[in-house]
């Protein structure tokens, strides 16, 4: 049973009652992330997420954790490009406690000068740790290749310089502007008394107001044709190739998910079978979809010995060309639908996954897509739908790329990717 309602202050609430479980997951979602930032404050959303756990007027940092962990629950948070989420999972008997703790963190966090300085050191170490992870470096580099100077390309962690620049005044001002009820959603999933849930949420969040409101609006960035390389003294070459994808809320996402599963979504996919199983050129290779407001991309990732880079990139391109002209039989289409539905339903087996799915859907689309809605969409996919989405995405070919490693002939790879294609007339390549 789903229920969506809005408090008088504009805060949206989505509740899913699952009466056969004994747990509840509660998430506070804010439509704010690195995409809302600029060159001067990049990383501030992630920094604020950390500061909410550093203590309130009534609880120390340790007491925030103990309030939930002492009753067997879990508390955590994450920051993305477009959203920040603080969430708690606990027994259903501790629903009100969960809401109270989240409200305490939101409204009463101290942002003490000492804690801010300590957290700067912590996050700088997190940035340094990320720099030691080639997959993280690759992801941030590919974002720049895809979107250039648009704010969506900014790293979630920010830079050491921007993190060092954060002051108490800057953090509090940012919270007052972006952490507002109109930009936010409370998502609750689990065993819930639907008769009293609205009054409980109103008790802790009904007074939430802000005078300095910044309603989130996102740009519509173009997918660019850039190729970027970052030298790093590591054993493997890590590469990411980008194709045009699907934006959030577009029903083309369903045939796109089906196509991605077939092309690079698992061990039975075309990419895995060809490049790992048949040719033995890598250990891991896969493709995945990233959908955002007004833009989207499909990325192909692999890590391999740089001496195989020309062969692998050439093979990937060849497989994309063959795949874009494939004739999918009705029998294969049925199997792909069953695979996609199975993956989706199995991914919703916990209250946490239901809370995440519902919260994100209401935050960006102002509606809940129920499991039955999704299954109906998948079942209705036709071969014509696949061909239409194929022409918008795979048929366009590789648009951009990023590489992290050494001993790479970038120009040769660019020539492979752009040959017989008009997509790269305005290409840019750069070593960073």
Per-residue pLDDT, 369 = 86
Q: At what angle do helices 330-346 and 383-392 cross, to 10 degrees?
A: 80
Residue 125 has pLDDT above 70, yes or no: yes
Q: Do the bridges between strand 12-17 and strand 74-79 make them parallel or antiparallel, or are there none, so unpaired? A: unpaired
- Say if residue 233 is in the same domain as residue 155: no
CB 82 within 8 A of CB 139: no
Per-residue pLDDT, 196 = 95
When pLDDT is averaged across residues 168-192 and rounded to a whole number, the result is: 96
- Say if residue 137 is in the same domain as residue 233: no
Residue 301 has pLDDT above 70, yes or no: yes
Catalytic residue, from 31, 37, 49, 82: name it. 49
- Say if residue 140 is in the same domain as residue 253: no
For the chain, what percent of residues have pLDDT higher than 70? Answer: 97
Confidence grade of residue 424 (pLDDT, cut at 50, 70, 90): very low
Decide if 49 is catalytic: yes
Per-residue pLDDT, 371 = 87
- Say if residue 121 is in the same domain as residue 167: yes
d(CA 133, CA 136): 5
- Say if residue 17 is in the same domain as residue 145: yes
Residue 233 has pLDDT above 80, yes or no: yes
Structure tokens at 315: 């093979």
When pLDDT is averaged across residues 249-255 and rounded to a whole number, the result is: 95
Give me the chain's average pLDDT, please: 94
For the chain, what percent of residues have pLDDT higher than 90? Answer: 90
Residue 344 or 45, more confident: 45
Cβ count within 10 A of residue 373: 12
CATH code of residue 198 = 3.30.830.10
**In terms of residue numbers, what domain contains 105?**
2-205
Q: How many domains does the chain have?
A: 2
When pLDDT is averaged across residues 53-75 and rounded to a whole number, the result is: 97
- Say if residue 261 is in the same domain as residue 113: no
221 within some domain: no
Confidence grade of residue 426 (pLDDT, cut at 50, 70, 90): very low
When pLDDT is averaged across residues 99-105 and rounded to a whole number, the result is: 98
pLDDT in tens, 365-408: 999 988 899 999 999 999 999 999 999 999 999 999 999 999 89
Alpha carbon 382 to chain centroid, angstroms: 28
Per-residue pLDDT, 370 = 87
284 within some domain: yes
């Amino acid at each position: 049973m789903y229920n969506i309602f809005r408090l008088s202050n504009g805060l949206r609430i989505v509740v899913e009652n699952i009466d056969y479980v004994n747990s509840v997951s509660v998430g506070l979602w804010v439509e704010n992330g690195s995409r809302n930032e600029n060159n001067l404050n990049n990383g501030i959303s992630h920094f604020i997420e950390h500061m909410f756990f550093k203590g309130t007027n009534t609880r120390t940092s340790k007491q925030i954790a103990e309030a939930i962990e002492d009753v067997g629950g879990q508390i955590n948070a994450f920051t993305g490009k477009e959203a920040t989420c603080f969430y708690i999972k606990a027994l259903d008997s501790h629903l009100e406690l969960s809401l109270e703790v989240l409200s305490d963190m939101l409204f009463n966090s101290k942002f003490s000068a000492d804690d801010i300085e300590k957290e700067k050191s912590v996050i700088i170490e997190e940035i340094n740790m990320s720099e030691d992870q080639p997959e993280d470096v690759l992801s941030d580099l590919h974002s720049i290749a895809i979107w250039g100077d648009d704010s969506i390309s900014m790293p979630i962690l920010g830079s050491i310089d921007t993190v060092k620049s954060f002051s108490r005044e800057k953090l509090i001002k940012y919270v007052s502007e972006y952490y507002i009820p109109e930009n936010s959603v409370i998502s609750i999933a689990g065993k819930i008394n639907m008769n009293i849930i609205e009054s409980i949420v109103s008790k802790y969040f009904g007074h939430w107001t802000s005078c300095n409101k910044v309603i989130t609006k996102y740009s519509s960035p173009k997918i660019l044709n850039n190729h970027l390389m970052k030298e790093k003294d590591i054993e493997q070459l890590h590469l990411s190739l980008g194709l045009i994808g699907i934006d959030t809320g577009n029903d083309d996402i369903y045939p796109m998910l089906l196509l991605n599963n077939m092309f690079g979504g698992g061990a039975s996919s075309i990419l895995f079978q060809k490049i790992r199983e048949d040719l033995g050129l890598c250990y891991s290779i896969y493709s995945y979809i990233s959908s955002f407001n007004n833009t989207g991309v499909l990325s192909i990732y692999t890590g391999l010995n740089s001496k195989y880079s020309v062969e692998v990139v050439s093979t990937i391109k060849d497989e994309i060309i063959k795949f874009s002209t494939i004739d999918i039989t009705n029998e294969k289409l049925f199997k792909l639908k069953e695979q996609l539905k199975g993956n989706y339903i199995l991914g919703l087996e916990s209250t946490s996954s239901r809370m995440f799915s519902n919260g994100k859907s209401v935050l960006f689309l102002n509606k809940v897509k129920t499991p039955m809605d999704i299954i109906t969409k998948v079942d209705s996919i036709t071969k014509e739908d696949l061909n239409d989405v194929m022409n918008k995405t795979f048929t366009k070919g590789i648009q951009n790329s990023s590489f992290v490693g050494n001993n790479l002939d970038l120009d040769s790879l660019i020539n492979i990717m752009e040959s017989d294609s008009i997509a790269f007339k305005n290409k840019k390549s750069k070593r960073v």
